Structure 1
């Protein structure tokens, strides 16, 4: 019986979602196509009915994860500063789970993405720029150019902090790295007026 286009699209989407979860958990190189297809409930041979290569799947999985992260960040973009930073740190550091997409591919697979093919790096770049543009809206006290600079600083600082917090083997140091990053970022996003009022209050 011939599958409908809707069924084919749904199957393809399921494979991409499973791949995104598995790549985040195990890494790109350590994850084989057969493992992904089995986790999606499909045979290895069915892979090439949906994708031309593993590289194409990696690019689509990266794009899907980043779209999820942007959507998650947008949902709390209007919240007060402390909550927004906590959410930013949370979705960067969350582990992948079976209930949906979580975690940040820049943290989970950064070194592998740097060596990935052009399509995957393009997907990563688009996702990064979308996050930068969203975070830039938090800098209402700055002009557009300065807001973008501050946004890039915020995002790259959090990615680096979360990455290092996962690398070190000291739990106390791990927490300290992230908290220091959040404290510095909060002071940057406060703006000159708030910082000035704090100094006067002191």
Structure 2
């Protein structure tokens, strides 16, 4: 019995991880349940053993993706001193690697536009993720000794997401790098 529960939990986690990656790569509406399950190495029919609906999976996938982004950013800021922590966060978020690999990047930048059109659990998960990223940015501003951290955190997060999205739309790698570099410089100069 225990082994079966462990296998069920592992299978569910595999589905969530696969969905988190694919939704960021292709969009929420860019992949159906059958293709998603196939990518996870499972059959379509097994989906409803693990989830009540596609909406429930979307919410879990958003949460999973956002937690992964925060964990990576947290790792970067924890390695930095108080004066450099915010710069470490900005440079990590606006990196070429992050820009080039949306399937392993920030869910807000990859799926935010779709999530805001949804009135269900996906939108709730996305809103919670935004709040948690804002809290992480506020912490770094506080570490740096900044004032007006709420307003600055809002501006920083908006610039981070916008810079990342814009870099992904550039027609050449050099233009993408320039957007990332210039957005980083703009944010760090503004604070």
TM range (shorter): 0.7 to 0.9
Runs ≥4 in structure 1, deviation > 4 angstroms? none
Residues 91-135 of structure 1 deviation map (CA, whole Å, 9 limit, x = unaligned): 7525156xxxx2111222222112123211110111111111011
> How far did 1:168 drift?
3.0
Number of the residue aligned with 1:178:
180
* Aligned pair partner of 1:107 in 106, 109, 116: 109
Structure with greater contact order relative to length (CA < 8 Å, sep ≥ 6): 2
What is the aligned-residue RMSD (CA, Å)?
2.1
Number of the residue aligned with 1:192:
none
> How far did 1:83 drift?
3.1
C-alpha distance in structure 2 between counterparts of 1:96 and 1:116, whole Å: 21
CA pair 137-2 structure 1, distance change in 2 beyond 3 A: closer
C-alpha distance in structure 2 between counterparts of 1:3 and 1:83, whole Å: 42
| Unmatched runs of 5 consecutive residues or more in structure 1 | 190-202
1:142 lines up with 2:146 in the alignment:
yes
CA pair 19-187 structure 1, distance change in 2 beyond 3 A: same
1:72 lines up with 2:69 in the alignment:
no
> How far did 1:38 drift?
1.0
Larger Rg: 1
* Aligned pair partner of 1:93 in 78, 99, 107: 99
C-alpha distance in structure 2 between counterparts of 1:38 and 1:171, whole Å: 32
* Aligned pair partner of 1:84 in 64, 89, 112: 89
C-alpha distance in structure 1 between counterparts of 2:152 and 2:122, whole Å: 26
* TM-score (ref. length: structure 1): 0.82
Contact 2:167-2:176 at 8 Å conserved across structures? yes
Q: Would you say how many aligned residue pairs link Structure 1 and Structure 2?
A: 183
* Aligned pair partner of 2:156 in 154, 157, 162: 154
C-alpha distance in structure 1 between counterparts of 2:100 and 2:63, whole Å: 17
C-alpha distance in structure 2 between counterparts of 1:185 and 1:71, whole Å: 21
Residues 10-49 of structure 1 deviation map (CA, whole Å, 9 limit, x = unaligned): 1111100011111111111120101111111111100011
